[in-house]
Amino acid sequence: MAKKILIVDDEPNIVTSLEFLMEQVGYEVRVARNGDAALESVRSFEPDLILLDVMLPKKSGFEVCQKIRENPLWQNIQIVMLTAKGRESEVAKGLAIGADTYITKPFSTKELVARVRQMVGEPI
C-alpha cells in the first residue's frame, strides 16, 4: 500500500505543482482546498502526511492542524506547514500547534520531496 499524502491548499497552481511532485515520487495523493474539506479528507483518506497551507479560506491552517492534533487517532499523521509569511511568530505558532515541520514558499522542489521522503519513508 502506498503512502498517502494529503495536500491542503487553495491556490490551484500550487496544488498542481505539489500534486505532480508527489505523484512523481509515487505517493497516493488527495487534495483539499479548504479547512473543512481537509478534515473530511483526513477522516476518509487517512493520510500519512499532510502538506498544509496556512492561508486557507474560512478555517486557517492552524485551526486544521489543531483539530487534527486533538484527535487521538491522528497523532501519528505528519503535518508539514506551508507558509508564505516567513515570520517567526507564524512558524513558532505552527510548531506549537502541533505541526512537525514547516516549509516557506517559494520552496525548492528538491528539498520538499526530500523532506517528505524523510518523514514518511518511501512510497511503498
Partner 1 sequence: MLQGWLILLASFAYLGVLFAIAYYGDKRADAGRSIISNPYVYALSLAVYCTSWTFYGSVGRAAGSGIGFLTIYIGPTLMALLWWVVLRKIIRISKANRITSIADFVASRYGKSTLLGGLATIIAVVGVVPYIALQLKAVSSSFTIVMQYPDVVTPAERAAPLFQEEALYVALALAVFTIVFGTRHLDATERHEGMVAAIAFESVVKLAAFVAVGVFVTFVLYNGVGDLFGYAGNHPELQQLLVFGTDTTTYSDWAWLTFLSMLAIMFLPRQFQVAVVENVDESHLNKAIWLFPLYLIAINLFVLPIAFAGQLHFSNGDVNADTFVLTLPMAGQRPALTLFAFIGGLSAATGMVIVETIALSTMVCNDLVMPVLLRIRSLRLNERRDLTGLLLNIRRGTIGLLLLLGYLYFHFAGESKALVEIGLISFAAVAQFGPVILGGIYWKGGTRVGALTGLSAGFLVWAYTLLLPAFAQSGWFPATFLEDGPFGIGLLRPLSLFGLTGMDQIAHAMFWSMFFNIGGYVGVSLMRRQNIVEHSQATLFVDIYDKVGDGSAPRFWRGTASVDDLCALVGRFLGHDRANSAFVDYAQRRGIPSVRELPADADLVHFAETLLAGAIGAASARVMVSSVVKEEPLGMDEVMSILNETSQVIAYSNRLEQKSRELEAATAELRAANKQLQELDRLKDDFISTVTHELRTPLTSIRAFSEILYDHQDLDIAQRNKFLGIIVKESERLTRLINQVLDLSKIESGNAEWNMTDVDVREAIDEAVMATSQLAREKRVQITVDLPDNVPPVTVDRDRLMQVLLNLLSNAVKFCYPADGHIAVRLYDDSGALRVDVSDNGPGIKPEDQRIIFDKFRQVGNTMTEKPHGTGLGLPISRQIITHFGGKLWVNSTPGAGATFSFTLPYHHEPAVEQPIERPLLMGGQHYG
**In whole angstroms, how far apart are CA 115 and each of 15, 78, 121?**
17, 11, 10
Residue 9 CB neighbours (<10 A) = 26
Stretch that binds partner 1, among 40-48, 67-75, 82-90, 92-100 (CB under 8 A): 82-90
107 touches partner 1 by CB under 8 A: yes
71 touches partner 1 by CB under 8 A: no
40 touches partner 1 by CB under 8 A: no
121 touches partner 1 by CB under 8 A: no
Specify the amino acid at residue 86. Answer: G
114 touches partner 1 by CB under 8 A: no
Q: Using the minimum distance from each CB to partner 1, give the nearer residue, 55 or 95.
A: 55
User: How many Å apart are CA 42 and CA 26, to the nearest integer?
Assistant: 19
